[in-house]
Structure 1
Amino acid sequence: MVADVLAVVDLGSTDANFVTQAEQFAHARNARLTIAVAAPVSTLEFSLASASGYPLTNELARYAKDKKTALAGQFATIGRPVHFCCYEGEIAELGKMLSARASVGDLTLVGPPGAYGNRKFRSRVLGDLALFSGRPVLAVPPLGAADRFDHIVVGWNGSREAARVLNDALPLLESHARIDIVSVSPGGSPSALDPISEHLTRLGYAPTQHALNGADATSDLLLRFVDQLQAQLLAVGAFAHSRFEEIVLGGVTRDLVEGASVPVLFSH
């Protein structure tokens, strides 16, 4: 069951489709939708404003409030309630604030890169949400996400992250949904997927196992496979590594964040 959905936007003017898709997604599940309007600023801009005494935070808060008012007017005509919250500040701090907000919901939606005025903010906050909110994050492509998911591909490697994303994906699926479990490894064998397939079978699904290998990047193999099967959703664990005392997304996860043409569900 999904009862609370959070959708993240910034101050850009190109998010109309994403916002509409988010409302339709939540409405199809009888879920409450909250739109978080973020007003991001770079660390350099924030530092310069602070050094000069310029009230940048107040200005950002005003911009966020104006965006919230405009969105509220847009949704007033459809007769369904949409809730709002506003955040402003440095991009890194916004990631922390939005992760805290997402932790008290069921699912967070992040739009495609073109839906944001600040694409650096989108990349950073999607990563922070996936790694630190403790909740799944759905990266929505330009064409949106299905109201109901009847067909899903799950990337599986036996890790904690893979187990988490599969568990988080199940409440989003129809009871009769087709599930394709796929591993990506040189010389991989579908038999390695037997244990998780048996578990899904006991839950009432009829999973199909696949082992992919090739010279292309893992993200490319997964996306090509999803396209070939015409699946509606790709679910993968969000992996991370430490760099310069900062936790950042791993390469495969980062590629999927930036380049997927289908909805991708991330969990960590």
Structure 2
Amino acid sequence: MPYASIMVTVDLTDEARSRVRLAKHLADDCHARLIGVAAEQAAYAVPPVGPTPGSAYALAAGDETILNDLRRAHEAFAEAAGGSERVAWRSNLGVPLPFLLAQAAAADLVVVGRRMEPVPALFAVDPADAVMHLGRPVLLAPPGVDHLDAKRVVVGWKNTREARRAILDALPFLKRASEVLVVSVDEEAASGGQDTLRLLQAHDVSAIHVRRDAQGRSVSGALVETAAEHGADLIVTGAYSHGRLREWVFGGVTRDLLAGAPVCCLMSH
């Protein structure tokens, strides 16, 4: 079953315009609704105790500034989305992540951008937070990527709950792909690979199981290299199967892909 509703986070960067165009192409391909989402809270200084002259004006001015920026984000979204009839916009004064979480019930797939360093853009959502908390598959769009063919797809496989979930969440992509590679990096990751192939075949997905030796590289590096060798522009993986804190301290596949994958990544937790 294709995605019926696709949500995309919007900010005021050029990367966001590319991201919206990518999401719009996906929505058109799936005949899905496209929902743009943006929120921000004014950066108020903590006032001293008691009434302060002009404080009410300062609060109102801060809100008005954010509302103006939200209007600009809406205009950028409408321009990049191309005026389709199946387009909706949702915005609010508030913290971006909680607002996105509240809207995610309306979407099958949420498209986010990479975290901007050193200072996140206005309205930006940390993709790691999105993956952990949305309860929806998250498509990470690298900067400057405005189209996703997904004719060739690499699936990073290890027999974990998150990887099993990711494969089901990615079925709309996998069913349309001409080549799907289920990649196990190192022998210990190959458990359940044949069962996964049989499940995909039952869903009319033609896939092959590939074992790769990391040979001193990271697992994420092996997946990216496999994608490059086969011309794949989408990597599908489970996210944070070892826990987010452990990954950020010791390193891990999710952290590395979120930080620097050159192609789109669909992740499920």
Q: Tell me the TM-score normalized by structure 1.
A: 0.80
Bigger mean CA offset, 226-235 vs 194-203: 194-203
Is 1:241 matched with 2:237? Answer: no
Whether contact under 8 Å (1:155, 1:236) holds in the other structure is: yes
Corresponding residue for residue 89 of structure 1: 94
Report the secondary structure of 1:145's partner residue: coil
Corresponding residue for residue 208 of structure 1: 208
Report the secondary structure of 2:220's partner residue: helix
Q: Residues 16 and 76 of structure 1: is their aligned pair in 2 closer, same or farther, counting only changes over 3 Å?
A: closer
Is 1:60 matched with 2:54? Answer: no
Corresponding residue for residue 180 of structure 1: 181
Using the TM superposition, give the Cα deviation of residue 131 of structure 1 relative to its aligned residue in structure 2, in angstroms: 1.4
Is 1:230 matched with 2:236? Answer: no
Report the secondary structure of 1:110's partner residue: strand
Using the TM superposition, give the Cα deviation of residue 102 of structure 1 relative to its aligned residue in structure 2, in angstroms: 1.5
Paired with 1:5 and 1:249, the residues of 2 have a C-alpha distance of 33
Paired with 1:152 and 1:102, the residues of 2 have a C-alpha distance of 25
Corresponding residue for residue 264 of structure 1: 265
Could you give the per-residue CA deviations for residues 50-84 of structure 1, whole angstroms, max 9, x where no partner exists? 66744134532332134214543x26964544211
Bigger mean CA offset, 10-19 vs 165-174: 10-19
Structure 1's consecutive aligned runs of 4 or more residues displaced over 6 angstroms after TM superposition are 247-250
% identity of equivalent residues:
27
Using the TM superposition, give the Cα deviation of residue 229 of structure 1 relative to its aligned residue in structure 2, in angstroms: 1.1
Paired with 1:103 and 1:76, the residues of 2 have a C-alpha distance of 21
Whether contact under 8 Å (2:20, 2:146) holds in the other structure is: no
Paired with 1:260 and 1:39, the residues of 2 have a C-alpha distance of 27
Corresponding residue for residue 5 of structure 2: 4
Using the TM superposition, give the Cα deviation of residue 12 of structure 1 relative to its aligned residue in structure 2, in angstroms: 3.2
Q: Which has the higher strand share?
A: 1
Q: For 2:150, give the aligned amino acid.
A: F
Report the secondary structure of 1:38's partner residue: strand
Q: Residues 153 and 249 of structure 1: is their aligned pair in 2 closer, same or farther, counting only changes over 3 Å?
A: farther
Corresponding residue for residue 109 of structure 2: 107
Using the TM superposition, give the Cα deviation of residue 173 of structure 1 relative to its aligned residue in structure 2, in angstroms: 3.1
Bigger mean CA offset, 256-265 vs 159-168: 256-265
Whether contact under 8 Å (1:233, 1:264) holds in the other structure is: yes
Using the TM superposition, give the Cα deviation of residue 266 of structure 1 relative to its aligned residue in structure 2, in angstroms: 0.6
Structure 1: tracts of 5 or more residues without a match: none
Bigger mean CA offset, 234-243 vs 56-65: 56-65
Could you give the per-residue CA deviations for residues 213-267 of structure 1, whole angstroms, max 9, x where no partner exists? 22112211111111111113100011163649xx999732121112111110011
Paired with 2:76 and 2:196, the residues of 1 have a C-alpha distance of 46
Q: Residues 34 and 184 of structure 1: is their aligned pair in 2 closer, same or farther, counting only changes over 3 Å?
A: same
Report the secondary structure of 2:205's partner residue: coil
Structure 2: tracts of 5 or more residues without a match: none
Report the secondary structure of 1:86's partner residue: strand
Q: Residues 152 and 75 of structure 1: is their aligned pair in 2 closer, same or farther, counting only changes over 3 Å?
A: closer
Paired with 2:25 and 2:81, the residues of 1 have a C-alpha distance of 14
Q: Residues 88 and 144 of structure 1: is their aligned pair in 2 closer, same or farther, counting only changes over 3 Å?
A: same
Paired with 1:243 and 1:50, the residues of 2 have a C-alpha distance of 34
Whether contact under 8 Å (2:40, 2:123) holds in the other structure is: no
Q: Residues 57 and 252 of structure 1: is their aligned pair in 2 closer, same or farther, counting only changes over 3 Å?
A: farther
Q: For 1:200, give the aligned amino acid.
A: L
Paired with 2:155 and 2:237, the residues of 1 have a C-alpha distance of 6
Using the TM superposition, give the Cα deviation of residue 27 of structure 1 relative to its aligned residue in structure 2, in angstroms: 1.4
Q: Tell me the TM-score normalized by structure 2.
A: 0.80
Whether contact under 8 Å (2:159, 2:190) holds in the other structure is: no
Q: Residues 154 and 58 of structure 1: is their aligned pair in 2 closer, same or farther, counting only changes over 3 Å?
A: same
